[in-house]
Chain A
Amino acid sequence: MANYIIKRLLQVIPTLLGITLITFLIIQLAPGNPATLKLQMAGQGEMGESAIAQQIIQQTKELYGLDKPLIVQYLLWVKRVFTLDFGNSFKDHRPVLAKIAERLPITIQLNVISIVLVYLIAIPFGVYSATHADTFSDRALTLFFFFLYSLPSFWVAVLLIMFFGGGDFLDVFPVYGISSIGADSWPFFRWLTDRLWHLILPVTCLTYGGLAYLSRLTRAEMLEVIREDYIRTARAKGLSERVVIFKHALRNALLPIITLLAFLLPAMFGGSVIIESIFSIPGMGQLGFESVLSRDYPVIMAITTISALLTLVGLLISDILYATLDPRIKLE
């Protein structure tokens, strides 16, 4: 087991290098250039006098380190990253890690809450669907979840805001931001309720779409397990239905769902551009989106590298969990 983990950890390094190299090349070779963009951002939208503008663009490239050959730039980047320095953003010259650190907590809050909610709601309903397979309630439930799944989140978000945010109907929820003004100086409990109050609408939007997939998956796994011999044996033994379903069937059915955990780690890190923009939440989604639009290479690289790393680690963790939970699987 220990050997296996070490081996897998070592494999992470070349994979990560490969991912970052490809990302680096893609973003650098994509059309659009941060130095020229900067000059065009200039006050009056004018691009400047030609000869001088070219010289200034050159200076800006040097300032950003974009004048060196691509491979040199990449190696310099790798060298810095080994010391955990992701460089400074082109946009405001602040350290990239500081910018991420500023936005990560809120993104994690949103994601943790909505992922936990998805699991808490979808799995029980999945079990229910399986035990009532092909009945009316099973079909109705499935239909309902797929209905939710097909609603675009930006539309739901705007509707929620109009109906619950003091438009022409109810005024119960705040419609932007993640806390009230001055909340930072409030006592903890008051701060917490205020924060949750703000999170309800965005979390709703992030949650409802995920229910269909997970409940269908749980249902399918449960149905498969229920047909197994050991379930029949358990029933034959005279165990109560409750014990059969929750102790013998569900435990086994949940195994594949654990693999999904692998994708949760990077999912925690990434934000939703749409929901963040509608609710004015300064999260990772906005940061990533803006950095791509403004060709802020250091920020794009940092976000990609960190989520790639989290994906790899997530995969490893789920493999280990799998082996721990299911003695039939061996990691060698």
Chain B
Amino acid sequence: MHDSLRPQRILPLAATALLILLLSSCSDSRNATAFNKDWLITHLSAEPATLNPITSTDAYASNINDYIYESLLKRDEKTMELVPVLADSWDISADHLTYTFHLKKDIRWQDGHPFTANDILFSFERIRDPKVDSAHLRNYYQDIDRLEVIDDHTVRYHYRIPYFRALEFCGGIPIVAAHLFSETEDFNQSPIGRSPLGTGPFRFLKWDTGKEIVLVRNEQYWGEKPKLERVVFKVITDSTVALQVLKKGGLDLMSLRPIQWVKQTGSERFHKNFRKIKYYLPTYSYVGWNLRRPMFSDRRVRQAMTMLVNRESILKELLFGLGTIVTGNFYINSPAYNRYIQPYPYDPEGAVALLKAAGWEDHDGDGVLDKDGAPFSFEFLISAGSKFAEQLATIMQENLKQVGIQMGIRKLEWAVFIQNIQQHQFDACTLAWSLSWESDPFQLWHSSQAEKGSNFVGFKNAEADAIIETARKEFDAAKRNVLFHRFHEIIHEEQPYTFLFTTEALVAVARRFQNVQVYPMGLAPREWWATEQQSE
């Protein structure tokens, strides 16, 4: 029987062997994490699909490409005005149909090739090429009739219709280096997807799949050189792990979840090494009501639904108060947002009165509101994986039940969720939009977009349509904002969405970085520099 003890004899042995291995490599891994103070190590929660600026669709890629690529103009971080980058200046014709850009001379790609008008033409043609996987971008360049190359340093866009965002679109076109491509090559498979090359302040160094993407300072940069030597994007898929790595000093910058902001980053030690920053970004979440459903076709019912959602308490309980309630479709910190509009209060009694006025009452005494014999019962569609949506749905279900409305919850995987919404197979759903600084309500709210476009709730309002159409051709921002303020009023009155929150972006940054400014559209790490590591 003694032989059966064998396994126990083997195990400690194996364990000791492992331990020796561990101890021997312990010191190695320490050294490896020691880094140069001028490196910014930042967190990626997932990898971009490709870094080709024309075929990439995810935010990870655009975040990285912002360091590498440049366009003709950009929106200045501080003033939010459009300022020249690769263009020296531009002329706009009086009818707002032609945009002529005069390019800076002596700009070179990071491989030394000169940058010319031809690169812009090539990029423009690729975006419009059906063989190129750029569906998402092509959409924005449909109104351009053609792009004319006047000489090596001048290009002219010809628009078919005047449009207030035309300058931003045609001047902000992603530009790739034409000389890197041959005619026979499939653009989608081009090596620039894995090793991008731009004109910007940082150049690409390497991409280890699933591990990290490294950029280094472009020493030949034409403009003001950044002070950071490297920007390293580390892929850490789990945010709990990422926070731990940050605390250990393996990351300098990461976005925090609300719970991490409130509960896991409060220690003195954390405060000593990191600064926590919160700021607003142009996004908002909402509950969309399908206006094609009889019950939601009545404005009073939609207003009542909003009054039945206790937004203040949801914001406080679920989001730790890290955000603000919004009343409309524009970015809350932009001039287009109408600040005079107050959100509907949480008011179940007022809601019941509104519902009664709309004909919804409990006629048969079964505890459920009904109208013309049909009970008030609907399904709330949420996307699986959104914890917030799930909690919100449960709270709403409970609140609605108290006034006699039955709400079922249906959780769908993202691809299926989106398909249902696009085919209008839903009663109500919750989603969020992210906006740009200047936004155009056309895609979301114009009646022409209700059948197959993004106006999936089916909102149709003649006055709103007229405002949208006028605003698209209005080039005076102040006049446009007057129009948008009225538009905001209509949206508030009609409540096609129950607007929820604009939540704050939460980040932690290592204290050794200086000049960490918060701009209206977020942080700009490329202007940071580092001082010697703070002593602990």
User: Residues on A close to B: CB < 8 A?
Assistant: 30-33, 35-54, 56-57, 59-60, 62-63, 88, 91-94, 102-103, 120-121, 124-125, 127-128, 131-132, 158, 161-162, 165-167, 171-172, 174-178, 180-183, 186, 190, 193-194, 196-197, 200, 241-242, 245-246, 276-282, 286, 293-295
Name the A residues within 8 Å of B22 (CB-CB).
172, 197, 200
Contacts of A39 in B (CB 8 A): 135-136, 139
CB-CB contacts below 8 Å: B416-457 with A: 416, 418-420, 422, 432-436, 442-444, 448-449, 451-454, 456
Q: Which of B186-194, B343-351, B474-482, B520-528 participates in binding chain A?
A: B186-194
Q: Does B263 contact A (CB under 8 A)?
A: no
Q: Give A127 to B14 CA distance when docked, in angstroms.
A: 19
Task: Given A44-B433, A45-B433, A161-B240, answer yes or no on A56-B139 (Cβ-Cβ < 8 Å).
Answer: yes
- What is the distance, in angstroms, from B449's C-beta to the closest C-beta of chain A? 5
Number of interchain pairs (Cβ within 8 Å) = 217
The answer to whether A278 touches B57 (Cβ under 8 A) is: no
Contacting pair B453 A49 (CB below 8 A): yes
The residues of B that contact A48 with a CB separation of less than 8 Å are: 136, 139, 443, 453-454
Chain B contact residues, majority secondary structure: helix
| CB-CB nearest in chain B for A198 | B29
CB pair B418 A40 closer than 8 Å: yes
Closest Cβ of chain B to A227, distance in Å, is 17
Chain B contacts of A174 at CB under 8 A?
A: 29
- Contact present for B193 and A193 (CB under 8 Å): no
Q: A31-B416, A52-B142 are in contact. List 18 more A-B contacts (CB 8 A).
A: A36-B418, A41-B57, A42-B136, A47-B422, A47-B454, A48-B453, A103-B210, A125-B7, A162-B244, A194-B32, A197-B21, A197-B22, A197-B29, A241-B3, A242-B2, A282-B235, A286-B210, A294-B415
Supposing A33-B419, A47-B443 touch, asked if A38 and B133 sit within 8 A by C-beta, the answer is yes
With a cutoff of 8 Å between Cβ atoms, the chain B residues found around residue A94 in the complex are 189, 193-194
Task: State the Cβ distance, B252 to closest chain A Cβ, in Å.
Answer: 14
B130 and A59 within 8 A (CB): yes
Q: Which residues of A contact B240 (CB under 8 A)?
A: 158, 161
Q: Give the CA-CA distance A62 to B131 in the complex, in Å.
A: 9
Q: Evaluate contact between B25 and A193: CB separation under 8 angstroms.
A: yes
Residue B18 interfacial (CB < 8 Å): yes
Q: Which of chain B's residues have a CB closer than 8 A to the CB of A166? A: 244, 247-248
The answer to whether B136 and A38 touch across the interface, beta carbons within 8 angstroms, is yes
For chain B, the bracket of interface size reads 35 or more
The reply to whether B415 and A295 contact each other, CB–CB distance below 8 Å, is yes
- Asked if A93 meets B55 with Cβ closer than 8 Å, knowing A161-B241, A200-B18, the reply is yes
Report the bound CA distance from A178 to B208 in whole Å. Answer: 12
In contact, B443 and A49 (Cβ under 8 angstroms): yes
Give the CA-CA distance A200 to B29 in the complex, in Å. 14
Contact among A54, A131, A294, A295 with B1 in the assembled complex (CB-CB below 8 Å): A131
Q: Does B33 sit at the interface, judged by CB under 8 A?
A: yes
CB atoms of A280 and B135 under 8 A apart: no
Q: Does B10 contact A (CB under 8 A)?
A: yes
- Cβ distance A237 to chain B, nearest Cβ, rounded Å: 17
Q: Indicate if B50 sits at the interface (CB-CB under 8 A).
A: yes
Q: B241 — which chain A residues lie within 8 A by C-beta?
A: 161, 165, 175-176, 278-280
CB pair B28–A180 under 8 Å, yes or no, is yes
Q: Inside 8 A of A131's CB, which chain B residues have their CB?
A: 1, 4
CA distance A168 to B448 in the complex (A): 57
Contact partner, A128, options B4, B33, B62, B186, Cβ 8 Å: B4
Whether A31 touches B210, Cβ cut-off 8 Å, given contacts A63-B133, A197-B25, is no
Query: What separation, in Å, do the CA atoms of A88 and B245 have in the docked complex?
Result: 35
Q: Is B95 an interface residue (CB 8 A)?
A: no
Decide if B49 is an interface residue (CB 8 Å cutoff): yes
Query: Whole-angstrom distance between the alpha carbons of A258 and B4 in the complex?
Result: 22
Whether, in the assembled complex, B364 has its beta carbon less than 8 Å from a beta carbon of chain A, the answer is no
Nearest Cβ distance between residue B154 and chain A, in whole angstroms? 28
